[in-house]
Amino acid sequence: MIQIGNGFKDEELTAEEIRRLRNLSRLTRADALRMIHLAGSGHPGGSLSSVDLYVTLLATMDLRASEPDDPRRDRLVVSHGHTAPAMYGALGHCEFFDLDDAVGLFRKAGSIFEGNLERTVPGVEWTSGNLGMGLSTAAGFALAGRLRGLKYNVFVVMSDGEQQKGQMAEARRFAKKYRLNNITALVDFNGLQAVGKNADVMPQNVKYEYIADGWDVIEVNGHDHNEIYRALRRAIQIQSAPVLLLANTVLGSGVSFMENEAGYQGRPLTDEEYAEAMHELRVDPDLSEPADYRDAFGDFELAPEEVVVSVPRPRVGEPRTYPPRVDTTGVEAFAAALSDVAEANKGNTDSPVTVSDCAQAGVVGTAAFGREHRDYFLQFGLQEHCAATTSGAMSMDGVVAVWADRAAFALDGAYNQLRMLDINRAHLKLVITHLGLDAGQDGKAIQCLDYLGLVDNLYGVKAVFPADANQTDRVFRHMLTQPGNWVMGIGCSRGPVIADLDGKPLFAGDYQFEYGNVDLVRPGDHGVILTTGPMLWRAVAAWDVLRDENLEPAVIHVSCPKLVDATDDPVLLQNLRKGRVITYEDHNVRTGLGSRVANCIAARGISCRLLKLGIDRYAVSGDPDEVYRRMGLDQDTLVARARKFLKR
């Protein structure tokens, strides 16, 4: 195990320690090139320019291969994940895993040693490669440490090209605002990206952008281990601001013909170039043994082992019950449940509850939390990208991270960030409002019409759309105790509490939410109406009219429409076989509940007629009830369409 230094207590490295690190960097460069050449693809230039940063960090920070999940460990986030060969090589030499595995299996289908860094690999904190997110991730880890009373340092290594990303500016401002002075960022400043010089591709002054946002900046030679060490030591001692180490590096460093040649950023070496590079690095170029090892493994058939994660376990208290004939909103019910949970978890450092806001607290139900629990309320301003990534990173480190926002901003605006949280197996709890036509007078730009379709493409994310205040309360408390990323979509317009035929609250009393279950709200023999979310009360109102006309369809609420395609729920399947099926949703009719029901019908060979009612174009701006009427989704239009369809 290569471990030197004394927790940055020594002022500088000894001559022997420097010699050992230089040798380790030489071997790591060779290992990176071996991986790339054997795989036939990769990013050799940036990998070689980052090597000395990785080697110095891993050899001196408080992170041990024997305890890679120690909650007190320092965190190392690598944002430019395409430098994976260098990071894998350095981690292998530090005995986090068998280096032969990384060399032989790099980029092999099914291997954990993917082309971009993968969190399944021991020592890797964040699956990266989608540039621009590393600093926001580091902010999440730094916040988690503060909230849980854990004193550790967070280091994040980034490329210079990715500083062009807008999320970088969001994260810089956020880290300064919240005094995340346990973050030390390092930029591999080699001046080149795949298509040429950074200054030609997109001119920017990285150093002064950080200074302008309140950071301290230290310039270092990114290939001098002792200079890097001294700068790291100084950075963690600075408590007035987060610190950037601007590490001046050379693309392709260590191999003469590769240095400062942008073409080597994203292509492997030829056989002749590889042989020459290994000669310069004084390493045997022979790859026969790792090639045999690669072939011997054949095709991987099993998914890689899941990362062991810290799943927050908050106290959620007892649910509230809202009586029938009381109009309320999902936002109000969420706000009340959030208040209960916050009170129940005062002083809970094991699973502290946080709320992230993007200047929407007054309309999404988090304003009271912000006033009463200021230390746990994170105001990101209009920075949805940073909010998503930072909140998700906190959730990976023991914090109950709730983010509430309008659907158009959270889902449409930060979709890629949510995708990366799904890949990283985070535990973010996202509450979205202003779904579909419920956005009303805010108009087309704010009417998120494909919320289910978007979430459905995030394979590991669970999505729930409660019908009323009672179900909203119970769903929210339930999802806080569950692993993984969850999305709860709630209504912001007033609607009645759903009652059963005896006039009692349907989603209260003995009711317990279970993900994937459907709810039979009204019985009937003349077909079935399936709906989801706050549209349910309109479907029930239509049922009352149709029942008086002796056309009595069953009404089923599907709170978890992502699972309809594969469900074996006997209540749902029995009702689909009644011959007439209507789906009724405040959603793009092409990608919503109706499409999932159609898939279910086709897969099971159910003989029936299907009428899909939903949104088929961008809507007008106006009062929500009027917009529903204009778009043909009010209860009167549902009655008229259902009457004609069910009588056929």
Q: Residue 276 in contact with residue 254, Cβ under 8 Å?
A: no
C-beta of residue 26 within 8 angstroms of C-beta of residue 159: no
Alpha carbons 395 and 483: distance in angstroms, whole number:
10
Q: Which residues is 401 bridged to in the sheet?
A: 354
425: left (phi over 0), alpha (psi -120 to 50) or beta: left
- Residue 345 sits in a domain of what CATH number? 3.40.50.970
Task: Give the pLDDT of residue 441.
Answer: 87
Is the same domain home to 340 and 261? no
Say if 10 falls within a structural domain.
Answer: no
Residue 327 makes CB contacts below 8 A (sequence gap 6+) with: 494, 495, 496, 497
Per-residue confidence (pLDDT) for residue 302, from 0 to 100: 46
Q: Is 229 exposed, middle or buried (0-12, 13-18, 19+ CB in 10 A)?
A: buried
Name the residue among 494, 489, 500, 620 with its Cα closest to residue 558. 489
* pLDDT tens, position by position, 536-560: 999 999 999 999 999 999 999 999 9
Answer for the pair 134, 158: CB distance below 8 angstroms, yes or no: yes
Same domain, 46 and 195: yes
Residues 576 and 475 in one domain: no
Residue 380 tokens read as 């990101």
Q: Which of 421, 388, 393, 425 is nearest to 405 (CA)?
A: 388
Closest CA to 626 of 356, 497, 437: 437
Q: Are 225 and 358 within one domain?
A: no
pLDDT at site 196 = 87
Residue 69 lies in a domain: yes
* Residues 637, 549 share a domain: yes
3-state secondary structure of 557: strand
What's residue 2's pLDDT? 59
Supply the DSSP symbol for 588. E
CB 589 within 8 A of CB 641: no
Residue 582 lies in a domain: yes
pLDDT tens digits, residue range 572-623?
Answer: 999 999 999 999 999 999 999 999 999 999 999 999 999 999 999 999 898 9
Verify that 97 and 235 share a domain, yes or no.
yes
Q: Which of 489, 504, 530 is the last residue of a domain?
A: 489
E strand or H helix that includes residue 645: helix 635-646
SS3 for 168-218, per residue? Answer: HHHHHHHHHHCCCCCEEEEEEECCEECCEEHHHHCCCCHHHHHHHCCCEEE
512 assigned to some structural domain: no
Domain contains 7: no
596 within some domain: yes
The number of C-alpha atoms within 13 Å of 645 and in the hemisphere containing its C-beta is: 24
Alpha-carbon distance of 180 to 144, in angstroms, equals: 11
**Which residues are CB-contacts of 311 (< 8 A; sequence separation ≥ 6)?**
427, 483
Tens-place pLDDT, residues 296-338: 887 765 455 555 556 778 999 999 999 998 899 999 999 999 9
Is residue 314 situated within a structural domain? no
- H helices present in 261-377, as ranges: 271-281, 288-296, 330-344, 361-364, 367-372
Dihedral angle sign, alpha carbons of residues 254, 259, 262, 264? negative
Q: State whether 144 and 242 are in the same domain.
A: yes
Same domain, 33 and 85: yes
Signed CA dihedral, 298, 303, 306, 307: sign only:
positive
Q: How many CA atoms lie within 13 A of 391 on its CB side?
A: 36
Q: How far apart are CA 100 and CA 535, in angstroms?
A: 57
Nearest to 289 by CA among 99, 112, 111, 121: 99
Nearest to 336 by CA among 314, 352, 320: 320
Q: Cα–Cα distance between 130 and 642 in angstroms, integer?
A: 47
Q: Verify that 208 and 354 share a domain, yes or no.
A: no
| Strand 580-588 versus strand 528-531 pairing type | parallel
> Same structural domain for residues 91 and 197?
yes
The answer to whether 504 and 450 have CB atoms below 8 angstroms apart is no
In a domain, 497, yes or no: no
Average pLDDT, the chain: 94
DSSP 103-127: HHHTT-TT-SS-SS--TTSTT--S-
What Rg, from alpha-carbon coordinates, does the chain have? Answer: 28
pLDDT of res. 305: 53
435 and 533 housed in the same domain: no
Q: With a cut of 70, list the residues of the chain below it in pLDDT.
A: 1-6, 300-310, 648
Q: How far is CA 299 from CA 231, 287, 354, in A?
A: 45, 20, 43
Give yes or no: residues 62 and 207 share one domain. yes
Residue 364 CB burial class (10 angstroms; 0-12, 13-18, ≥19): buried
Q: What are phi and psi of 255, to 5 degrees?
A: -125, 110
pTM over 0.85: yes
In angstroms, rounded to a whole number, what is the distance separating the alpha carbons of residues 577 and 597?
Answer: 12
Backbone angles phi, psi at 323, to 5 degrees: -75, 155
State the residue range of the domain holding 442: 330-489
pLDDT in tens, 230-286: 999 999 999 999 999 999 999 999 999 999 999 999 899 999 999 999 999 999 999
Determine contact, residues 427/311, Cβ cutoff 8 Å.
yes
Q: How many domains does the chain have?
A: 3
What is the rounded CA–CA span in Å between residue 531 and residue 528? Answer: 10
